[in-house]
């Protein structure tokens, strides 16, 4: 599931949207690290292409973002006299992630790896081989405690309360909230229970209440969702938090319309897909979507959003959630190598990356302190391993198109990360 992350303080290594060069130059020193030649730094990528139950572009779109970022940096001369490249791509066919990872480590011809896996069984295989790993961070449990795994978001507490649920409901005018999740996946189940707990915790301030919750739906909704919609209708639901995949949210929206509840807005955690939403016509109009990076619809400011769009355009690749996650991951790989210095090794890059205390991917995500954010925060202690700023960006579906909620130049709503107490969020831009 999409993890709500956001944007905050820009790292000193950020570049502007005009693409100003900041790469280390000069001749390539000798380097015996695997995957490093006199002219190249080679990476592997593995993840889910075939047998994807969602039917969406995962591995290939993630790699598109990595490749676009590498092309951008290579146009500036690469790093330490070498170009960056993805030289090995492995499909894990959904259930064979560990085998895909073993093909990467057995070949041992790449410096590090990128992963867009729906089931992250192979991540520990990569890190046990001493390789840095940059991932699509939908599996925080597989990231937790592993100081060589990085993503566009740090590990989060999926079961903890989150203020963004309450904010989205308030934006939609919802006061009687329902939450839905699949029982077969911890991410979805915990999301639904977290949303319900959040509404209950902040109900006194928000004027909201939970009137229905179900975190045990069958994946894919094989029996439909008619009885659940009937129950929500009977309960007077006027806002739904759906911790479902985009196909599940579409089935839910269609059933809402069939039962005369089409005007009830929903918060989506997994439907930031313009093509999918456009093809649905007006089905999702009035709904809200949480985004874990600076939305495409926001103004670029001095962030890398403009650079990303430029280089994705040069590659004739679509702007997608997965490609943005790949781009951000590639930036972290670059920044780690840069921080390690010209004689970098796998171990020195991991050590240097873990000293980055305000990584933002060029102003695209909330600042991550990799010196302390390899551990999941807890409800009782959100500060030690959590974000300094607890932020979310929201977009609203209007006539089949996404529009940013709040000022386009400040598209992130943020609360202090040191507490879970309710306060009014601030609209912020940290690019």
Q: Give per-residue pLDDT as tens, 65-83.
A: 999 999 999 999 999 999 9
Structure confidence at residue 31 as a pLDDT band (50, 70, 90): confident
Pick from 24-38, 304-318, 341-355, 403-417: least confident:
24-38
Residues 173 and 210 in one domain: yes
Number of domains in the chain: 2
Q: How far is the CA of 12 from the CAs of 267, 287, 362, 389, in angstroms?
A: 34, 36, 9, 18
| Same domain membership, residue 182 and residue 143 | no
Instruction: Identify whether 191 is part of a domain.
Output: yes
What does pTM read for this prediction? 0.92
pLDDT at 23: 54
For residues 202-225, give the mean pLDDT: 96
Residue 25 inside a domain? The answer is no
DSSP H or E stretch at residue 275: helix 274-279
Q: Are residues 108 and 214 in the same domain?
A: no
> Which are the contacts of 420, defined by CB distance < 8 A and separation ≥ 6?
160, 161, 163, 201, 379, 382
Q: Is 428 exposed, middle or buried (0-12, 13-18, 19+ CB in 10 A)?
A: buried
Residue 109 lies in a domain: yes
Residues 155 and 153: their CA atoms lie apart, in Å, by 7
- 269 and 344 inside one domain: no
Token pair 């820009």 in the structure block, residue: 10
Q: Is the pLDDT of residue 2 over 50?
A: no
pLDDT tens-place string over residues 127-161? 999 999 999 999 999 999 999 999 999 999 999 99
Average of per-residue pLDDT across 300-320: 97
Token pair, residue 331, equals: 């930036």
Claim to verify: residue 147 and residue 174 sit in the same structural domain = no
195 falls within a domain? yes
The reply to whether 240 and 212 lie within a common domain is yes
Is the Cβ–Cβ distance between 243 and 188 less than 8 Å? yes
Question: Domain limits at 93?
Answer: 40-153+298-353
Q: What is the dihedral of CA 46, 327, 416, 164, to 10 degrees?
A: -70
Give DSSP secondary structure letters for 362-427. TTTS--B-TTTTTS---SS-SSSSS-SEEEEEEEEEETTEEEESS-TTS-EEEEETT-----PPEE
Report the C-alpha gap between 376 and 189 in whole angstroms: 18
- Report if residue 378 sits inside a domain: no
Q: Is the pLDDT of residue 208 over 80?
A: yes
Sequence length of the chain is 431
Which residues, 6+ apart, have CB-to-CB distance to 230 below 8 Å? Answer: 259
Is residue 111 located within the same domain as residue 168? no
> How far apart are the two ends of the chain, measured CA to CA in Å?
25
Shared domain for 268 and 417, answered yes or no, is yes
* Alpha-carbon distances of 113 from 86, 104, 156, 174, rounded to whole Å: 9, 8, 22, 43
Exposed/middle/buried for 31, CB within 10 Å: 0-12, 13-18, 19+? middle
Does some domain include residue 240? yes
Tell me the mean pLDDT in the region 279-284. Answer: 96
CATH of residue 395's domain is: 3.40.50.2300
Domain assignment present for residue 248? The answer is yes
């Amino acid at each position: 599931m999409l993890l709500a992350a956001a944007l905050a303080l820009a790292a000193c290594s950020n570049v502007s949207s005009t693409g100003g060069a900041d790469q280390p130059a000069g001749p390539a020193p000798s380097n015996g690290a695997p995957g490093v030649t006199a002219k190249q730094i080679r990476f592997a990528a593995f993840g889910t292409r075939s047998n994807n139950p969602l039917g969406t572009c995962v591995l290939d779109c993630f790699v598109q973002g990595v490749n676009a970022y590498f092309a951008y940096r290579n146009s500036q001369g690469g790093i330490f006299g070498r170009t960056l490249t993805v030289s090995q791509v492995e499909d894990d066919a959904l259930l064979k992630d560990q085998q895909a990872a073993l093909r990467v480590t057995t070949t041992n011809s790449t410096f590090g790896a990128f992963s867009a896996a729906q089931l992250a069984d192979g991540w520990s295989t990569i890190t046990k081989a001493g390789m840095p790993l940059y991932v699509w961070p939908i599996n925080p449990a597989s990231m937790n405690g592993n100081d060589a795994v990085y993503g566009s978001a740090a590990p989060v507490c999926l079961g903890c309360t989150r203020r963004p649920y309450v904010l989205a409901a308030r934006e939609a005018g919802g006061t009687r909230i329902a939450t839905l999740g699949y029982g077969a996946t911890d991410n979805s189940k915990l999301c639904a229970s977290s949303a319900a707990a959040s509404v209950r915790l902040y109900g006194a301030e928000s004027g909201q209440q939970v009137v229905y919750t179900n975190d045990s739906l069958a994946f894919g909704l094989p029996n439909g969702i008619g009885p659940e919609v009937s129950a929500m209708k009977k309960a007077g639901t006027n806002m739904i938090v759906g911790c479902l995949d985009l196909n599940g949210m579409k089935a839910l929206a269609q059933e809402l319309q069939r039962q005369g509840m089409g005007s009830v807005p929903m918060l989506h955690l997994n439907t930031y897909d313009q093509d999918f939403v456009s093809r649905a016509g007006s089905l999702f109009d009035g709904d809200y979507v949480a985004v874990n990076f600076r939305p495409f619809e926001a103004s670029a400011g001095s962030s890398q959003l403009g650079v990303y769009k430029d280089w994705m355009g040069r590659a004739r690749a679509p702007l997608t959630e997965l490609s943005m996650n790949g781009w951000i991951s590639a930036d972290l790989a670059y920044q780690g190598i840069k921080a390690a210095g010209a004689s970098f090794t796998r171990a020195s890059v991991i050590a240097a990356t873990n000293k980055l205390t305000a990584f933002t991917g060029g102003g695209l995500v909330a600042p991550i302190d990799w010196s302390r954010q390899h551990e999941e925060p807890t409800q009782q202690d959100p500060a030690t391993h959590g974000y300094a700023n607890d932020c979310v960006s929201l977009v609203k579906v209007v006539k089949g198109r996404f529009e940013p909620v709040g000022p386009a130049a400040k598209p992130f709503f943020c609360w202090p990360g040191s507490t879970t107490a309710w306060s009014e969020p601030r609209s912020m831009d940290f690019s």
